Amino acid sequence: MDSIVVQGGRELNGQIQIAGAKNAALALMPATLLSEEPLTLTNAPRLSDIATMTQLLQSLGAEVTAMQDGKVQVMSTHGAINTTADYDIVRKMRASNLVLGPLLAREGHAIVSLPGGCAIGARPMDIHTDGLTKMGAEIDLRDGYLHAKAIGGRLQGAVIDFPFASVGATENIMMAATLAKGTTVINNAAREPEIVDLADCLRRMGAQIDGDGTSTITIQGVDRLGAATHPVVTDRIELGTYMLAPAFTGGEVECLGGKMSLVAAFAEKLDAAGIDVWETDKGLKVRRRGDRPKAVDVTTEPFPGFPTDLQAQMMAMLCIAEGTSVLEEKIFENRFMHAPELVRMGANIEVHGGTATVTGVARMKGAPVMATDLRASVSLILAGLAAEGETVVNRVYHLDRGYEHVEDKLRAVGAQIERVQGI
C-alpha cells in the first residue's frame, strides 16, 4: 500500500486550486439515470470514488466518458437499463445508494445492495427507504439487497418528514420525486451546498424544484427530463482542509475557487483560533496571526454549522494550539479514530464518547501513523507538516477517495512531501 512521507517544519506560501466537490459529484452522476439524454458535468474531481461511481453507472447501462483529463464527465443512459446494483461495486462506497431513487423513478423497480464506505459509524438506509415507501414503493431487504418496486409502476408525490436532516436521503428522494406523479414535499431536508448544486442540475434537466437550501424542498414531478451541462460546485471540505495548512506551518496560502459562503461557520472558528481568512477575486486567502493557533471549542452540526468532515483536520490543528479545546462530534460515532494516531505524534488528547479534549503542545514529533478513514488520512498529513522530523502516514488508500493529488498541491506551496509505493 502507498504511504505519504512528510518532513515537517516548512512554511507554506502560494496558491492551491480547489477541485469540484466529491460529495456533489457523487450525487450528480446518478442523475443521468433519470434521462435518456446526455448529462455533462464540468469541474469534476478526479478521484477514486468518481471512478467507482463511473463503474457502477456503466454496470447499469450508462455510457460515461471522461474528457479533459477527467475534469469533464459526459454521461448518457439512452439504452436498456440494468436495474440491479451489484454488491461488488456498491460495497466500495456509501454514495452508491444514490442510484436507488433514480432507478425507481425511471424504471419502477430496482435491486440495490446495501452500501459500504468509511467505517465512521452507522449511516442507516431506513430514512431513504421510509421516504420512498411513502411515495408508493414496496421495499424489502433480502440477502443484503434492497428489492424495491413502485406500486402501479410509477412513484407518487408525498409529504415526507425526515427524523433528521440526512444529506443522502434528501438527494435520493429529491431525484426520485422529479419523475413521480404529483408533488413531493421534503420536510427537515438537508441544506448543504451539495443539495443546492443537485437541485440546480436537476432544474437544468427540466425538473421543477423549489426551496433547496432551506429545510423544506418542494418537487413537482414531470414526465421526462432532458439534457444538461452543469459545473460541479467547489469542494468545501477540500477547501477547508487546505485553509488549515498555513495554520499549522505559518505562511500565506490562497485557495483558488473558494467562497466564504461555503465555509462560513468553519471560517468563524478559524478567526477565533487566530487564523485570518479573507476573500480575494480568485478565492480565499489564509494566514496565521501568531506563532501558534489559539484553543477553540468545536461542535459538529449539519450545514450551515461546523462540518463533521473537517473535524479531524481541526483536531490536528488544535493539538498545537495554545490552551485546551473541546471537540464534540454530533454527526457520526466512531469519528475520533485519528486521535490515537495524533497521540503517537505527541498530542495530548482525551476521548470520552463523542467528546474529545485537546490540550495543545508547543510541538509534535514525526512518527509512523496509520490512516483509518478519508478525513483522518489528511489530518495526519497536516499534523506532519508542523511536526519535527519525518511523519509516515500509512494506509492512505482512503485519501484518493476524496483528495486529488494532495502531495502535488502541498508540494507546490512549499511542503516537503512525497508518496512512496509499497511501504
Give the active site residues.
Answer: 118
- Ranges of H-type helices in 11-80: 22-28, 48-59
Single-letter residue type at 301: E
Strands 368-370 and 355-359: unpaired
CB count, 10 Å around CB of 212? 25
E strand or H helix that includes residue 210: strand 208-210
* Secondary structure (3-state) at 286: strand
Measure the CA–CA gap between 93 and 420, rounded to whole angstroms. Answer: 25
First vs last C-alpha separation in the chain:
6
How large is the C-alpha radius of gyration of the chain? 22
CA 315 to chain centre: 18
Measure the CA–CA gap between 355 and 364, rounded to whole angstroms. Answer: 22
Determine if residue 331 is labeled as part of a ligand binding site.
yes
Determine if residue 94 is labeled as part of a ligand binding site.
yes
Measure the CA–CA gap between 207 and 223, rounded to whole angstroms. Answer: 9
Annotated binding site for UDP-N-acetyl-alpha-D-glucosamine: 94, 309, 331
